[in-house]
Amino acid sequence: MRAFGIGLGLALLGLGHHSPTPITCALATLSGSKRDEPVHWWVTDRAGGRIVALDEELFAQWVVTVPCPVGVARAEDGLWIVSVPGGGGHEGSVWNRLDARSGLGDSRTMGEYAGIVGLSDGGALGLIGPAPTREWIHLNRNGETLRRVDFPGAVHLAEIRGRVLVANGVGEVWSFGLDSEMSEAQHAQLGGTSRGVAPGPGGGWWWLGSNGELLLLHADLSVRWRRWVGERAACLDGDEKRVWVVPNDRSAAMCWDASGRPEGSFAMPHMGAKAARLTESGGVLIALPGALLELGPKGELLRTQAGFDHLVSISDPGP
């Protein structure tokens, strides 16, 4: 196991010996260790000051120490890491990209952090700045800003195949293409405050509201169907086949298919769920403040992993 400092106080620790991936090859180059550590998930442990790379069994393989990390996102062969070195929620954020081609890129200082999504070309989308003057930004893989759009009050974003959804805190949503003019954007007013969004079937979107409703939206943002999921529903993740909705109390995490039928459920053993990500098998990985829970497609508990200080986000799965 090795550790050293790089860039803005980042340090690397390598654990385990398995199959290499593009990001771990970059880590190995920086640390001088062998390129044979597997990574399936990256999780952000804010209070622990670290990004932790986990294998499919949720065992730690790499630890990247970062001052107060708040977000992590896969993007092609790289990884975007967002931190708030000052620790305050309203302070500026620092964005770094780690990839197999160039290692650790230059740091980019941005405004207050509110969200990140990695892109298939290695770039990223983000929400930055105080809520009243919040902006949506599009960065290329080198961290250069390609586009900025004002979205006051924006709280969540999602992207799939070049289409973007942005949701604000008063129930408004916009859908637009990465390269299209905002005059061409679709817009809708929904009820309640957004608690999460995700790509859905047929070019549509999943939307979770503070009013306890789960909506499946068409591509034009009209409502295809709605389900009551409870006012404690805190986060979601979905794709073309299903969506998982996770509460922040001890009620049930629920899975719904694209037709609105329930597929699985699991009574949460602890309160405080912070994030959720679909697994490749159709289950879900849930971040509690100090532990991870992985559920199967029907809600069966597959595995857990503890030992974290305060988890706040999970990357997409993959190598």
* pLDDT tens digits along 170-197: 999 999 999 999 999 999 999 889 999 9
pLDDT of residue 85: 87
For range 202-229, the mean pLDDT: 97
Does 309 fall in a domain? yes
DSSP of 171-236, one letter per residue?
SEEEEEETTS-GGG-EEEE-SS-EEEEEE-GGG-EEEEETTSEEEEE-TTS-EEEEEE--TTEEEE
Q: Are 162 and 179 in contact (CB under 8 A)?
A: yes
Low-confidence winner among 8-17, 69-78, 234-243, 262-271 (lowest mean pLDDT):
8-17
Please count the structural domains in the chain: 1
Q: For residues 23 and 319, what is the distance between their CA atoms, to the nearest angstrom?
A: 8
Q: Reply yes or no on whether the pLDDT at 109 is more than 70.
A: yes
Q: For residues 290 and 251, what is the distance between their CA atoms, to the nearest angstrom?
A: 18
> How far is it between the farthest Cα atoms of the chain?
53
3-state secondary structure of 29: helix
pLDDT-derived band at 24 (thresholds 50, 70, 90) equals low
Q: Reply yes or no on whether the pLDDT at 4 is more than 60.
A: no
Domain that holds residue 310: 233-319
Does 300 fall in a domain? yes
pLDDT of residue 37: 58
Does 248 fall in a domain? yes
pLDDT-derived band at 105 (thresholds 50, 70, 90) equals confident
Does 2 fall in a domain? no
**With a threshold of 0.75, does the pTM exceed it?**
yes
For range 10-27, the mean pLDDT: 48
Does 208 fall in a domain? no
Q: Give Cβ neighbours of residue 144 (< 8 Å, ≥ 6 apart).
A: none
Low-confidence winner among 24-38, 102-116, 282-296 (lowest mean pLDDT):
24-38
pLDDT of residue 175: 98
Does 305 fall in a domain? yes
pLDDT of residue 148: 96
Q: Reply yes or no on whether the pLDDT at 230 is more than 60.
A: yes
Does 122 fall in a domain? no
Sign of CA dihedral 19, 20, 23, 29: positive
What is the β-pairing status of strands 69-75 and 78-83? antiparallel
Within 3-109, residue ranges assigned H as helices are: 22-31
Q: Are 156 and 173 in contact (CB under 8 A)?
A: no
- Backbone phi, then psi, for 161, in 5-degree steps? 50, 45
- Backbone phi, then psi, for 29, in 5-degree steps? -60, -45
Side chain identity at residue 245, one-letter code: V
Q: Reply yes or no on whether the pLDDT at 32 is more than 50.
A: no
Strand partners, 217: 205, 223
For range 39-45, the mean pLDDT: 95
Q: For residues 106 and 288, what is the distance between their CA atoms, to the nearest angstrom?
A: 31
Does 268 fall in a domain? yes
Provide the CATH number for the domain around residue 288. 2.40.10.480
For range 71-81, the mean pLDDT: 94
Please classify residue 40 by burial: count the beta carbons closer than 10 Å to its beta carbon, then call 0-12 exposed, 13-18 middle and 19+ buried.
buried
Mean residue pLDDT across the chain: 89
- Burial call 152-166: b when 16+ CB within 10 Å, e when fewer: ebbbbbbbbeebbbb
Neighbours of 308 (CB within 10 A): 22
